[in-house]
Each structure stands twice: as C-alpha cells, then as structure tokens.
Amino acid sequence: MEGVARCVTCKMEKQASSARHVSINLQIFQHILAIAAHDSVVQLGGKKWTVPLGRRDSNTASSTAVNSNFPSPFLNLTGLISIFSNKGFITKETVVLSGSHTIGMAKCIGFRSRIYNETNINTAFATSLKSNCPSAGGDSNLSPLDMTSSTVFDNAYYTNLIKSKGLLHSDQQLFNGGSTDSQVKAYSANSASFFKDFGNAMVKMGNLSPLTGTNGQIRTNCRSVNSG
C-alpha cells in the first residue's frame, strides 16, 4: 500500500487546516497531519475519533526513511504482518489499517504483475484494468484501490477482497486462505466494527514514539526542518 498515512492524510491537508482555522506557522506539523487524516476520513463518509495532539516535529527529514517504513505492494501476508508488528501493531490492526485502501489510487507499476500473472484474482476485474495498465509502459497510470466506491470511506475494500478483487498483491494477501481471512469477513459484514477499530488504530499510530518536551522541534515551515 502506498501508505496508510498517505491515503488518509495527503488528500485534504489544506482543507483540514483551513476548516479548523489552523495557522501553519503556529501549529505543529504533526498536528496538521493528524487532523487532516481524521477530517479526510470523516468528509468521505467515515466516523470520527479523538485525535491526540501534543507531538513535536522531528529534527530530521528523510524521504528514504519515510518510504522504507511503508509496506510494499508486493509483500506477502507474513511480510505485511511483520512490517506492522515492527511498529507495535497486532495482526487485527494490520487488517484494519489496510482498510485505508478503501480510498486512494495506485500506479500501474504497483499492480501490473498481479493483473497479468496472478491466479487469485477475479478474471473480469483483471481484464478491466489492463486497458489502463498495459503489460509494458504506462507505469504511472492510476487506478482506484477500491473500484467499488473509490471516493467513499467504507468497508467495500474487504468485500472486494472476498471477491478476489484486491488491486494490490499485498491487499489480496489479507484474504487468501490465511490467518486474516476471518477478520476480513468480519469487517466486510460489519462496517461499524471497522470504523471503530480503524479510529482506535489511528490513535495508536499517532502515539507511536512521540517527541515531547525538549525533544524535536516546532517547525516554522511544515515541509522542512528549522534552520539554525
């Protein structure tokens, strides 16, 4: 997945900060991301959760470090569970945070191998994607992670997995005869449970290794560390 955080934070960063009258020059960047994640989900049909604030920003910025912490779309189930476990999440939380793929887009290069080479995929679904994602070229062409309701935050992602319509290899791994099948079924059948657990997992994510007190900094420019 091209990022739990990317899917639910980047889309509405500007709208969220404006809606809450947050001044970028006065508020901590981490706060803006957390609020944007929450507000984007709510505005797209999800449920509210209490957003914890108080984190300070990092003294360093590294796109390489960020990207290395995002799960690859090519991971198998063991690898997917492992990368979340390394951050303190249990398997159930891996499944619920993957549900952020109910919104967002993925590049052809991230799912080409799945639609041309894998067998655990709905044939009609795979065929429908090939015109926009040819076997060669078009690497940056985009397709919705959730073809059913790509602009609504709902539990359709899990229903898609049950129908073998997961766009990414790593998505379909959550429902492929393994240990997470039952949780996928549970969220597919109960959207309220998904919304509740997703909110709880997002709070937990927001509390990972916080910088407080004199650690870190409050950035004057969200996109770069303070100079001097």
57 has binding-site annotation: no
169 has binding-site annotation: no
Residue 139, phi then psi, degrees to nearest 5:
-55, -35
Q: How far apart (Å, rounded) are the C-alpha atoms in residues 121 and 165?
A: 6
Q: How far apart (Å, rounded) are the C-alpha atoms in residues 8 and 135?
A: 30
Q: How far apart (Å, rounded) are the C-alpha atoms in residues 63 and 73?
A: 18
171 has binding-site annotation: no
Task: Pinpoint the alpha helices (H) of 51-119.
Answer: 63-68, 77-85, 91-98, 108-117
Q: How far apart (Å, rounded) are the C-alpha atoms in residues 194 and 44?
A: 15
127 has binding-site annotation: no
> By C-alpha distance, which of 88, 147, 138 is closest to 116?
138
DSSP 107: E
For the annotated binding site for substrate, the residues are: 71
Binding site for Ca(2+), by residue number, is 102, 146, 154
Q: What residues form the annotated binding site?
A: 71, 101-102, 146, 154
Residue numbering of the annotated binding site for heme b: 101
